[in-house]
Amino acid sequence: MLVAVDCIIFGFDGNQLNVLLIQRGFEPEKGKWSLMGGFVQKEETIEEAAARVLKELTGLSNVYMEQLHAFSAIQRDPTERTISMVFSSLIDIQEYRQQMNDDYHAQWFPLNHIPKLIFDHKEMIGLALQKLRYKAAFHPVVFELLPEKFTLPQLQNLYELIYDQVLDKRNFSRKILSTGLLIKQKDKEKESSKRGAFYYKLDKRKYEAQFNSFLNFISNPIIN
pLDDT at position 62, please? 80
pLDDT score at 98: 60
**What residues does each domain of the chain span?**
2-137, 140-210
The bridge status of strand 64-71 relative to strand 36-39 is unpaired
How far apart (Å, rounded) are the C-alpha atoms in residues 61 and 55? Answer: 6
Are 121 and 35 in contact by the 8 Å Cβ rule? The answer is yes
| Residue 142, φ and ψ in degrees, nearest 5 | -65, -20
More confident: 55 or 67? 67
Q: Is 79 helix (H, G, I), strand (E, B) or coil?
A: coil
What letter does residue 15 receive in the DSSP assignment?
A: S
Q: What's residue 216's pLDDT?
A: 54
pTM > 0.85: yes
- pLDDT at residue 212, rounded to an integer: 62
* Mean pLDDT, residues 92-105: 71
With pLDDT > 70 as the criterion, what percentage of the chain qualifies? Answer: 89
Judge whether residue 14 has pLDDT over 50: yes
DSSP H helical ranges for 36-100: 46-58, 93-97
> Residue 146's closest CA among 211, 66, 64, 55?
64
Cβ neighbours of residue 5 closer than 8 Å, sequence gap 6 or more = 37, 38, 39, 40, 46, 49, 50, 53, 84, 85, 86, 87
Number of Cβ atoms within 10 Å of the Cβ of 212: 9
C-alpha R_g of the chain:
19
Spacing of C-alpha 145 from chain mean position: 7
Q: What is the pLDDT of residues 153-200, one digit of tens each?
A: 999 999 999 999 999 999 999 988 988 889 999 999 987 776 789 999
CATH code that applies to domain 140-210: 1.10.10.10
Confidence grade of residue 223 (pLDDT, cut at 50, 70, 90): very low
Superfamily in which the 2-137 domain is placed by CATH: Nucleoside Triphosphate Pyrophosphohydrolase (3.90.79.10)
Quick: pLDDT tens for 25-38.
888 899 999 999 99
User: CB of 8 within 8 A of CB of 88?
Assistant: yes
Is the pLDDT assigned to residue 220 strictly greater than 80? no
Q: Which residues contact 224 (CB under 8 A, 6 or more apart)?
A: 130
